[in-house]
Structure 1
């Protein structure tokens, strides 16, 4: 592949957060890294689009475990806080129900408990017990399993008793229902899996650890958006001697002598490498990038049988002259619809686009003036919807605008009165956008759903079972989706890739096929 005196080369497919974190760790190991991405800027789902003076942050909006990023920077001999400014959210977010009641989660424990007492005083002891349960699962599921490889069956066998003791077979919602009785609090303690693509009524209760992440580490916003984190990562990679090739799509992973040997780009150009990391979706990696290789585990049929996360309908819009309007609407608001369990079934089981919806509303302009023109606002409103894999799939060419209009009506009624007259810029992403822009199977928002038999050992491994020399990072591998998760996939991958055996050098030039 390369002669014994050539520098060790690594290729990372995809400049999402998992790919950028992987490139940083490989650079710290002595590899000359080339990152390749089909988009025109770094960040993947964490990138942004600027339109009419409004910067729309397209994907993740919060940072819940800053230490994961600080550890990543430290591994590269850098200081994260010199490169990125995080601002703590106060409160973390607000939940609003149809009956007019609300709940705010605060960094201050007593303030949060006061919110619980206002809703349901009898549930306060159960709320405290739930947070204790979440901490137990954090130490096991996040700090232990989530920070080490789970590609060997023995690693699973060793922890099975702990899974049983923690009742990993129970769903997030079922666990919340055992601790509190008020349906509003049950929602507040169980909706989090939706932000990593999971059905709260079926995802393992191990994921209640997210509640501990919030209470222990806080909820933060990166000034400049998650795009600012991605750009800071890219700067580290360049400083390490790596390069980023944007607006460039990988067509196939090369195989020589039974090992990953680099990539072939759309158009035929080849780039050779000693190590290849795919931050593309695991499903895309196996069914498209390895389409010409026989696979034993992740066959096309096996990938098709996986349960995939839901799709997302996201409306990005700018408003004129509203900076001093809607003073009761903060940075993060969740506007809950009239149904919970049945709506979730519509999304994950029936594949039905319901008339009602629950919305996550992101208003970064109350924190970061750079996102909008002076006096204006920038918004991002997200609604979970079915992915594209159902037989009765949604025709988004027909449904996109009617669904946006329903979203607008709900926002005007429940949160932002007078919105219709204030909208100046508008951009909509549907599951079809996720399929085409991010090469996401079935247009899913978060790759493979994190059910118990699709987590840890059962998820696509960080070291490929199909091809030596190929490693995986990103939401589709272990430990999973969410900013802490995808940053963690790079940490686990870094434990599996050996240090570069040859000294750092500039990446090899491309060679035409």
Structure 2
């Protein structure tokens, strides 16, 4: 795929010749690329505009010293969502991307030396639960039934349709009540199992989509069913390979994916979204605009010259945003066989759970302790590192930048990385310090500057019950006709299945492309 850097000539002549309407997608993250594919399948001539140097957004990668660092999501939990997306475009996903099932999914390590290995096999999981706490096996099995029930309602029903009408929310409120959606994920786990380690193992998943397990609605226990039913997979070449395959589909449909092109404003004509203005001043007209940028950035920046009724600047500031992320990407020399017990995914748990989560989400304090998510893709994919070497990605949840006692990451980043290194050496990777050859650090400031994420949040708005479904920014904009939203900040939410799902919902809202007309003629843009 050809990658471009700004400035880029965008070919509008073929839009006129094709006889199809034009759609612009802002952002080549997975939600934006999936939306472009869906719109291309509906006959739209799509141009995707993205400020980075390669497609994927938070799912892109950086290569350094022979190591490929996958920057964001590391796993695929609902592969049929991607297969359905490709099928809607008349393609086969498995012809373009190779998925490898993970076994085990991950291993959790506690300070007392105990561990929990998560697998898809039912018998293996029951044995793991029984090994830690024999009296909790029955409660664990009840938890799985609860998870499946919420999957069918929350994922297969609500997650596959738009929730932009208040009446749709009112209709499902009794079901929310029956499923105790007011109860948190951790509270629900605590009603089923007694061992605090199992309560952690069954409740930490909301952190993967930016949620506080002690406050996020228990509907999100459905993730446990996703893992059990569909497994956990790794895409060979990383999520970057999925993004590049998506971009190729868009181009094969006759669309464009333009890198190095930053959108500065969504333009309005005759009361509708009518195109965009780029940071270099170019104006690109369109019949439909889809924003894969964070809704906070979309409404507060890209629509800054348009009056807003619901998503005003004060309301966006009052919203609860997901936590920030401190991520250390590093390569190691000659370690492929050094740590044989360390698999593809490990979770190294710190001494505190509830209080640490409170520091991250509520007080905004950078705690002295941490819990770590460790990704070792070289355990599965040799292409990520030179022969015999390893590539790692280690993530620690931290407060976002919006707290009153904001963290100075220019000062704190290196001490925090050193604490992370010390914990890894003591708990998982002995002798690590002398083996590190490449190093790259992302802080919440990086997320703010690279991804234009409000407050440097890792996953847009936190998925609490009053920031989900109808309460979340809608897939069809409440502010401007002709504008649609995709990605983690809209319905159904964050995570690879969620952002792919936003495009499925969006496709039910955007009409088929109109018959031929001269859409490349400049429009009377109100913002000019």
Structure 1 length normalisation: TM-score? Answer: 0.98
Alpha-carbon distance in structure 2 between the residues aligned to 1:72 and 1:267: 33
Alpha-carbon distance in structure 2 between the residues aligned to 1:322 and 1:51: 17
Structure 1 residue aligned with 2:201 = 188
Residues 209-257 of structure 1 deviation map (CA, whole Å, 9 limit, x = unaligned): 0000000000000000000000000000000000011011000001000
Over 3 Å counting, the alpha-carbon distance change for 1:86 and 1:496 in structure 2 is same
State the shift of 1:417 in Å.
0.1
2:281 aligned counterpart, secondary structure: coil
Structure 2 residue aligned with 1:71 = 84
- Structure 2 residue 370 is the aligned partner of structure 1 residue 357: yes
Alpha-carbon distance in structure 2 between the residues aligned to 1:352 and 1:37: 34
Alpha-carbon distance in structure 2 between the residues aligned to 1:409 and 1:126: 37
Alpha-carbon distance in structure 2 between the residues aligned to 1:384 and 1:466: 33
Structure 1 residue aligned with 2:135 = 122
Is the Cα contact below 8 Å between 1:16 and 1:42 reproduced in 2? yes
Structure 1 residue aligned with 2:395 = 382
Alpha-carbon distance in structure 1 between the residues aligned to 2:58 and 2:164: 26
Say which of 134, 146, 157 aligns to 1:144. 157
- Structure 2 residue 241 is the aligned partner of structure 1 residue 245: no
Structure 2 residue aligned with 1:291 = 304
State the shift of 1:7 in Å.
2.9
Residues 309-338 of structure 1 deviation map (CA, whole Å, 9 limit, x = unaligned): 000000000000000011100000000000
Structure 1 residue aligned with 2:385 = 372
Is the Cα contact below 8 Å between 1:460 and 1:478 reproduced in 2? yes
Alpha-carbon distance in structure 1 between the residues aligned to 2:324 and 2:337: 33
Residues 354-373 of structure 1 deviation map (CA, whole Å, 9 limit, x = unaligned): 01000000000010000000
State the shift of 1:510 in Å.
9.7
Flag as ranges the 4+ runs of structure 1 deviating above 2 A. Answer: 2-7, 502-505, 507-513
- Structure 2 residue 118 is the aligned partner of structure 1 residue 105: yes
Say which of 318, 321, 341 aligns to 2:354. 341
2:203 aligned counterpart, secondary structure: coil
Say which of 80, 97, 100 aligns to 1:87. 100
Residues 91-129 of structure 1 deviation map (CA, whole Å, 9 limit, x = unaligned): 011000000000011111101111101000000000000
1:486 aligned counterpart, secondary structure: helix
2:293 aligned counterpart, secondary structure: coil
Over 3 Å counting, the alpha-carbon distance change for 1:140 and 1:453 in structure 2 is same
Alignment of 1:492-503 (within 5 A): 492-502=505-515
State the shift of 1:3 in Å.
9.7
- Structure 2 residue 25 is the aligned partner of structure 1 residue 25: no
Structure 2 residue aligned with 1:421 = 434
Where do 5+ consecutive residues of structure 1 fail to align? none
Over 3 Å counting, the alpha-carbon distance change for 1:100 and 1:461 in structure 2 is same
Alpha-carbon distance in structure 1 between the residues aligned to 2:363 and 2:339: 36
Residues 462-512 of structure 1 deviation map (CA, whole Å, 9 limit, x = unaligned): 00000000000000000000000000000000000001122699x959999
Where do 5+ consecutive residues of structure 2 fail to align? 1-14
Alpha-carbon distance in structure 2 between the residues aligned to 1:392 and 1:438: 23
Alpha-carbon distance in structure 1 between the residues aligned to 2:244 and 2:157: 30
Alpha-carbon distance in structure 2 between the residues aligned to 1:241 and 1:4: 11
What value does the CA root-mean-square deviation take over the aligned residues?
1.7
Alpha-carbon distance in structure 2 between the residues aligned to 1:508 and 1:205: 48
Structure 1 residue aligned with 2:188 = 175
Structure 1 residue aligned with 2:241 = 228
1:245 aligned counterpart, secondary structure: strand
Structure 2 residue aligned with 1:96 = 109
Over 3 Å counting, the alpha-carbon distance change for 1:105 and 1:74 in structure 2 is same
Is the Cα contact below 8 Å between 2:324 and 2:399 reproduced in 1? yes
Structure 2 residue aligned with 1:485 = 498
Alpha-carbon distance in structure 2 between the residues aligned to 1:73 and 1:502: 25
Is the Cα contact below 8 Å between 1:474 and 1:486 reproduced in 2? yes
Say which of 389, 398, 421 aligns to 2:411. 398
1:189 aligned counterpart, secondary structure: helix
Is the Cα contact below 8 Å between 1:372 and 1:378 reproduced in 2? yes
State the shift of 1:268 in Å.
1.0
Alpha-carbon distance in structure 2 between the residues aligned to 1:55 and 1:5: 38
Alpha-carbon distance in structure 2 between the residues aligned to 1:417 and 1:508: 61
Say which of 415, 422, 439 aligns to 2:452. 439
- Structure 2 residue 178 is the aligned partner of structure 1 residue 154: no
Over 3 Å counting, the alpha-carbon distance change for 1:124 and 1:509 in structure 2 is farther
- Structure 2 residue 207 is the aligned partner of structure 1 residue 218: no
Over 3 Å counting, the alpha-carbon distance change for 1:162 and 1:274 in structure 2 is same
Alpha-carbon distance in structure 2 between the residues aligned to 1:389 and 1:233: 34
Equivalent pairs, count: 511
Over 3 Å counting, the alpha-carbon distance change for 1:206 and 1:402 in structure 2 is same
- Structure 2 residue 25 is the aligned partner of structure 1 residue 12: yes
Is the Cα contact below 8 Å between 2:20 and 2:43 reproduced in 1? no
Structure 2 residue aligned with 1:198 = 211
Alpha-carbon distance in structure 1 between the residues aligned to 2:125 and 2:435: 34
